[in-house]
A and B are shown apart, each in its own frame.
Chain A
């Protein structure tokens, strides 16, 4: 679910009122995902994203958090338009680097229509690129990404240590009260990271652990959703936890869910009643005025037992203000917890994510 944030980012730009004529496929339960083909793009669906987050450590022991996201959208255009500029597919990308040494998060964006060899998202294999930004899966099963913004650049390689984790019911992930409010969604936790990070022109070798999400859908959010809290955590013991809640505009939780996979591979799917977030501490952004619950207690019910983790941010100021490029304001930050670390995403805190 991660994406709602960005989604609303990229996704927002993308379209909401499809003409009746645009035949978006629906997400249905029971479909079976095939790899590696489903690592690639699903251009008929309205939205799709690949999302990598993780913790890095430089050779001299400095900790960093990073995020690289590629979105694909299929706007509801007239398919007959023969123009090479016709926006049949539009790609967006986001990258951010959180540095506790500076207490700042730096980020960059890219966006482009598919075409002219400048932007593309291949089907059948994971290869998505906007000009010099790219994310792809290599034939040997490794993933790699390369992005560069004005303040930083990332060149990272991800080696999977575990098989993909299908979210929800075999990859069908319900997002709202209606069954069609859903996505196809899988994650690859515990990616081993190697590569280089460049900050202000100074390169450094890094290593670390990351989390990949790949999700696609045609109908995502419930109309009365205000925003959501999402987290993906890699635990030191090899287990992985994804949890989210969609907050209602009227207060409270509209929907929630998650998946816990133990190191031995046992997987528990969590329903709306199994996930609870509780605010421990908030941080107010001076830039936007939004107040984010950056420290939260996450409680899940697994096998009749309640387990609780306190999610503590790497540092508080991990807000992304991407309004300049027409995208929303949200908080996307590295968080740590007992025996593990991951990312927390908080959206809809400055204003409702509109649909």
Chain B
């Protein structure tokens, strides 16, 4: 492909004959500096590998997540789904089944269950209906005559998916205690669910038995629908007709909506991670730019010679860009391969969620994505080609005669450094950042960040000069320092060449660190305000505390008060993840126990007040004072009495007074208790008494946690979810540092003649070293300051654009001064060290040889 492209360019410029000369030239450069090319290719490879690996891991996790979801949905194209775990009335079933356009309908009871401490989705199905609508939910033993017919309507028969079977270590015939909705039922594993896929943790039993044994009489949670042939021809119309027949506590959900929902859960996170991974690639692109710039400068005379000998400037550009293309092709190919390996390793050892907890089970294997591979290959090539294009253009622009005559580049320190490209880019970036989200993704936010980043990098020469101008205009101090300062002042572009990669990666790192520190601080504060009890109890697998038990618990000596609450998922739209409906006592309706960020004084009469979390407000547009519908209780109108800060539930949450909740739903169960101790009471004995007061079955399903533990757990979870971003950032920084090191040393080595002359003048080796160290320090400091300044700007975009648009929560900025200082110190130190080492290398060469013209 490279050669084809090459031929095009060469043919266009009519210089097929120049090809050989250029090939010699490039070949020679590669032979003499293979390490430099290898390093550039590696930088691209690292970027591509990281991006591709992150994408693959997330994609694989999502694929298995979706696979599990499809396994649980049994392949139904259309379903009526309950908006909450309370389900909907089973009489909806005959009504929908008889509706026009419905060929068949299969009622399903769906429960979150546990067996042997493994979480399962337990479905109760009518096999006569499932056979027609969702055959994938039919257990193995029912298929074909002869095999285990006795289990068809057996109320104790349980069928497990492959994954559920493996996780519970059950076999056909095993008696399994299954806990759901607070009840434990002994069921016999009767067979498998071969069509449920590899990832679903699914158990299927008879619907009547599920209703009876797990206390769900009269309710169903899902109705899978097969449309009749004429209706299937126009599903939209059929769905519209069906929708009109649904009870308020159910939604019509297509397979596409289901996929959209599962996608929405983690999409913002995945896109964020992809973007971060691309930073490494961006840094790699800058590294190509640095390397190619240097190599072009080094070959200026060679190019000039070729130009004098009759080659046109396009060929020079073509040569340099072709080099970039080759670097990109090699780097990106290596990157794709290592990315795949990396993804495989990550899935094997870290799990598909990369620590963030978005995907429950984790992926089974890497799902190769040819499209993504092509995109990352293209991005790698693009980075390398763009990184080469600018130096190529510079090389071609140089007047051949002048280039031939002058050794190296002769700069004019008086030349002004243009600030406007940087200013234009940054203004455009700021403008883009202010745009609204696209498809619930902050696409313009990312574009804005990219533009700001480009502007920032473009502004580095200007920044460097502005920074040292006050020093440069004075002629004082030790000669080495003075030389260092004057050199940087005179050639800020050279420093910028070395710095572009590290400025970009540092800026992103600082931006992320600032965002994370702001986020973490906000979460920490929020946790402090939310966790106001002394100890918390919550049930799992749907068990609940009934009113009588609650009264007994509240009367336990040492308990000052107990707050009982109920939390359940509530689906507002079928293609979005359910939000959390929280029912708990609200004594003072003007001042609920929440971190309110907005409130209304008076809610309309005839409405039930609810308080929505900030993500819920942003996701559904529920503003204070609005009257809204919630799919829990018929046509009841709710009004938004306030908005509260919540970092716990990305999909949103709604708080309702538990008296309203109970009146509307009839659900008197509660699944969480916040215990406040009496003043002198000791925690341990009270906890003992509370646990002792619980019925034994409930006790085994109740978890007790202290706020400190919860807080620690929450923060640990938080840190873990950002761990992978730190890794990505660190790699980007390392690539950037490698760029600084390579470029600085190349630049230093290129100045060997200068050092030789200085030695002749009586400058000592130490003084040269000191000069280079000073220069390294200044370059490093410049990079650090530029990166930090840019990073703080980018952090604002992250905090005020990316975060609210992706995750729907806001926070105020907290600057991690420690991190800033650390990054600045590390960068400055690394640059100085690099410069000194390179300088030692450069001055180790004989001063005699150095001053010679043609060594």
Contact = CB atoms under 8 A, between A and B. Distances in A.
Is A in direct contact with B (CB under 8 Å) within the complex?
yes
Interface of A: 8-9, 12-17, 75-78, 81-87, 90, 92, 111-113, 116-118, 131, 150, 323-329, 351-354
B575 interface: no
A78 B155 CA distance: 8
Nearest to A323: B144
Given A77-B153, A90-B153, A118-B94, A85 B107 contact: yes
Given A87-B206, A323-B143, A326-B143, A81 B153 contact: no
A353 B97 CA distance: 33
Contact of B145 (A12, A90, A112): A12
A86 B208 contact: yes
A14 B217 CA distance: 24
Contacts of A76: 153
B146 A353 contact: yes
A352 B144 CA distance: 12
A82 B212 contact: yes
Contacts, number: 105
A111 B128 contact: yes
A72 B132 CA distance: 18
A112 B128 contact: yes
Interface residues of B, number: 35
A115 to B, nearest CB: 9
A75 B157 CA distance: 14
A331 B206 CA distance: 31
Nearest to B90: A84
B94 A12 contact: no
30 contacts: A12-B145, A12-B149, A13-B152, A14-B149, A14-B152, A15-B149, A17-B150, A75-B153, A77-B208, A78-B155, A82-B212, A82-B217, A83-B207, A83-B211, A84-B218, A85-B90, A85-B107, A111-B128, A113-B126, A113-B128, A116-B90, A131-B97, A323-B144, A324-B135, A327-B145, A328-B144, A328-B145, A353-B146, A354-B146, A354-B149
B98 to A, nearest CB: 8
B229 interface: yes
B150 A81 contact: no
B153 A325 contact: no
B228 to A, nearest CB: 10
B149 A353 contact: no
Contacts of B93: 116
A111 B128 CA distance: 5
B155 A81 contact: yes
Contact of A351 (B97, B143, B146): B146
B147 interface: yes
Contacts of B143: 323, 326
Contacts of B155: 77-78, 81
Nearest to B142: A326
B146 A352 contact: yes
Contacts of B126: 85, 87, 112-113
Given A82-B212, A87-B208, A13 B146 contact: no
- Residue in A12, A15, A78 whose Cβ sees the most chain B Cβ within 10 Å: A12
A100 B132 CA distance: 29
Contacts of B128: 90, 92, 111-113
B209 interface: yes
Contacts of A113: 126, 128
Interface string B122-161: 0000111101100100100011111101101101000000
B107 to A, nearest CB: 7
B207 A85 contact: yes
Nearest to B220: A85
Contacts of B209: 81, 83
B150 A16 contact: yes
Given A15-B152, A82-B212, A111 B90 contact: no
Given A15-B150, A113-B126, 5 more contacts: A14-B153, A77-B155, A83-B208, A85-B208, A111-B128
Nearest to A353: B145
Contacts of A84: 90, 208, 218
- Residue in A16, A92, A325, A353 whose Cβ sees the most chain B Cβ within 10 Å: A325
Given A85-B126, A90-B128, A111-B128, A13 B142 contact: yes
Given A14-B152, A111-B132, A116 B94 contact: yes
A13 to B, nearest CB: 5
A87 B153 contact: yes
A83 B94 contact: no
A179 B218 CA distance: 44
A354 B149 CA distance: 9
A13 B97 CA distance: 23
Interface in B64-92: 90-91
A77 B229 CA distance: 35
Nearest to A80: B212
Interface in B572-615: none
A63 B150 CA distance: 40
Contacts of B153: 13-15, 75-77, 87, 90
Contacts of A323: 143-145
Nearest to A73: B153
Nearest to A328: B145
A114 B153 CA distance: 13
Contacts of B229: 150
Contacts of A75: 152-153
B212 A326 contact: no
B145 A325 contact: no
Nearest to B152: A13
Nearest to B124: A85
Contact of B94 (A90, A117, A352): A117
Contacts of A150: 229
B206 A13 contact: no
A47 B264 CA distance: 50
B137 to A, nearest CB: 12
Contacts of A352: 146
Contacts of B91: 116
Nearest to A110: B132
- Residue in B129, B142, B145 whose Cβ sees the most chain A Cβ within 10 Å: B145
Interface in B387-402: none
A323 B146 CA distance: 11
A85 B98 CA distance: 17
Nearest to A75: B153
A8 B208 contact: no
A328 B211 CA distance: 30
Contacts of A90: 128, 153
A118 B91 CA distance: 11
A109 B203 CA distance: 27
Contacts of B146: 12, 328, 351-354
